[in-house]
């Protein structure tokens, strides 16, 4: 049993289709607390197998095909290219999240976990030979340009993407800062493909942001799980507590968070738990069989917690939501999550390249696998567009407006009623799901206070 606080950093990544691919760039499998990653995971070049381990007859067939392609293909092709393509095909045939990373892609992936890279800000994966948007990253060209989770990219500039490796698609989406790129995509509900032109930018991800929604009620947004996400969360919670004096409740927003490092997910979960299981993994090798447990304290002292999720919440986000749901520490609100229940390990090779390979499945504390199913929210919030009505109270007919109404003998004595501060009212139009989460928090706090008073 391994407690995350005692483990050492590593590249045990779990984000969706990680490759520097997350975002056409960001590879959010972003980075989190180094110490949260199990030290037992292999991160050095692996030793070569012995002859007894190799299927010699199959290798002979491979060599025969290699020579025929080399000799008869219409254009000359180098040995290196043929072998690299064979390796890519071998890994691509496993599952959507395993891949070969050449030296350049491996370097970009490592930069992505730090939280700064160039590109558009899209976490992507492959789906039936096309490029699927897992989620746009906050405050990037993709999010500002209207890219949505679930969009399917069918062309990058003038190049069709069907059959294109995800790493190759990501490279095409990257480019010089300030240069333009046109994405053609298919969106559910749209009658025809959409064309969106974006301007590439330097992507710097601040994975944790916070603010007060109302006095006593805080909001924390985690956009990706990166190397310092755990520490950043601790810092943001301290600021909220300093501003509020005491937090009455917190909204943790994981919507459109494509994932990141396993260690960060463990660290974030542990911030709200005192003890007990957070997540465990199962795989064929012993190094893939791990369990992570929480340690005190709960950084918000047991205050009510709402976790917001949607179809763009994947991987590490689902670990956090699943742990807090199973442990009955939070109410999960929103829509069903992406459903990525596997773990990838980065294995460096001797040629400065690496392979990203699925090595384990992860399970929530109750033993659930969310693979291809996702986390089902406790309270469903459908996609809606809400507009606040101006002067709604002025147009309402109430008893007080009726002529000759009876006076209230206790008017002014009700100290419990208080007007809703304007910021919360504005949420109706700007972010209805956060507005609903805030209302739920208020209800939880009110019920707890009344229950305590009646004892």
Which residues are catalytic, by number?
A: 315, 326, 340
Cis previous bond, 297, omega within 30: yes
Decide: 353 and 100 in contact? Cβ < 8 Å. yes
Altogether, the residues listed in the chain come to a count of 455
Question: Helix (H, G, I), strand (E, B), or coil: what is residue 144?
Answer: helix
Question: Helix (H, G, I), strand (E, B), or coil: what is residue 412?
Answer: coil
Question: Helix (H, G, I), strand (E, B), or coil: what is residue 106?
Answer: helix
Decide: 254 and 317 in contact? Cβ < 8 Å. yes
C-alpha–C-alpha distance, residues 123 and 134, integer Å: 5
Question: Helix (H, G, I), strand (E, B), or coil: what is residue 161?
Answer: coil
Tokens of 426: 């504005």
Nearest CA among 165, 181, 182 for reference residue 125 = 165
Tokens of 427: 């949420």
Nearest CA among 375, 166, 171 for reference residue 265 = 375
Tokens of 432: 């209805």
Q: What is the DSSP letter of 381?
A: -
Contacts of 271-274 with C-beta under 8 Å, sequence gap 24+, read: 271/230, 271/233, 271/234, 271/237, 271/298, 271/299, 271/300, 272/298, 272/299, 272/300, 272/305, 272/324, 272/329, 272/330, 273/298, 273/323, 273/324, 273/327, 273/329, 274/298
Nearest CA among 15, 69, 12 for reference residue 36 = 12
Tokens of 236: 């943001």
| Interaxial angle between packed helices 316-326 and 262-270, expressed in degrees from 0 to 180 and rounded to the nearest 10 | 30
Decide: 373 and 339 in contact? Cβ < 8 Å. yes
Decide: 262 and 354 in contact? Cβ < 8 Å. no
Dihedral sign from CA coordinates of 185, 255, 339, 165: positive
Q: What are phi and psi of 18, to 5 degrees?
A: -60, -45
Decide: 121 and 25 in contact? Cβ < 8 Å. yes
C-alpha–C-alpha distance, residues 414 and 409, integer Å: 11
């Amino acid at each position: 049993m391994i407690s995350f606080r005692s483990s050492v950093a590593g590249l045990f990544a779990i984000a969706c289709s990680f490759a520097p691919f997350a975002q056409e760039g960001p590879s959010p499998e972003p980075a989190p607390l180094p110490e949260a990653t199990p030290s037992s995971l292999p991160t050095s070049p692996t030793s070569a197998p012995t002859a007894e381990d190799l299927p010699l007859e199959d290798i002979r067939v491979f060599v025969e095909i290699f020579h025929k392609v080399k000799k008869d293909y219409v254009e000359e092709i180098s040995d290196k290219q043929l072998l690299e393509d064979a390796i890519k095909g071998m890994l691509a045939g496993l599952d959507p999240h395993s891949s070969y990373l050449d030296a350049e892609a491996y370097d970009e992936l490592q930069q992505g976990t730090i939280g700064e890279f160039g590109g558009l800000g899209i976490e992507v994966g492959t789906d039936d030979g096309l490029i699927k948007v897992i989620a746009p990253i906050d405050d990037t060209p993709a999010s500002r340009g209207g890219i949505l989770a679930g969009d399917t990219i069918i062309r990058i500039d003038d190049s069709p993407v069907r059959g294109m490796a995800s790493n190759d698609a990501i490279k095409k989406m990257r480019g010089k800062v300030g240069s333009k790129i046109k994405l053609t995509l298919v969106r559910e509900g749209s009658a025809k493909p959409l064309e969106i032109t974006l301007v590439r930018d330097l992507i710097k991800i601040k994975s944790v942001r916070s603010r007060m929604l109302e006095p006593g009620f805080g909001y924390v947004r985690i956009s990706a799980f990166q190397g310092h996400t755990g520490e950043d969360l601790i810092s943001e919670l301290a600021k909220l507590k300093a501003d509020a004096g005491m937090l009455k409740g917190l909204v943790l927003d994981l919507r459109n968070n494509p994932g990141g490092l396993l260690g960060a997910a463990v660290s974030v979960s542990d911030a709200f738990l005192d003890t007990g299981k957070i997540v465990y993994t199962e795989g064929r090798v012993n190094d893939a069989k791990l369990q992570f447990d929480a340690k005190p304290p709960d950084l918000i002292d047991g205050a009510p917690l709402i976790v917001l999720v949607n179809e763009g919440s994947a991987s590490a986000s689902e670990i956090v939501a699943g742990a807090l749901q199973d442990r009955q520490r939070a109410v999960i609100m929103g829509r069903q999550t992406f459903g990525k229940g596997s773990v990838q390990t980065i294995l460096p090779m001797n040629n400065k390249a690496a392979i990203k390979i699925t090595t384990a499945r992860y399970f929530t504390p109750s033993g659930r696998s969310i693979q291809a199913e996702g986390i089902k929210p406790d309270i469903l919030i459908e996609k809606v567009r809400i507009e606040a009505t101006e002067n709604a109270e002025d147009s309402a007919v109430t008893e007080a407006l009726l002529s000759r109404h009876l006076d209230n003998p206790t008017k002014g004595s009700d100290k419990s009623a208080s007007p809703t501060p304007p910021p919360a009212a504005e949420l109706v139009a700007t972010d209805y799901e956060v507005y609903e989460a805030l209302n739920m928090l208020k209800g939880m706090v009110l019920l707890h206070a009344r229950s305590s008073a009646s004892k």
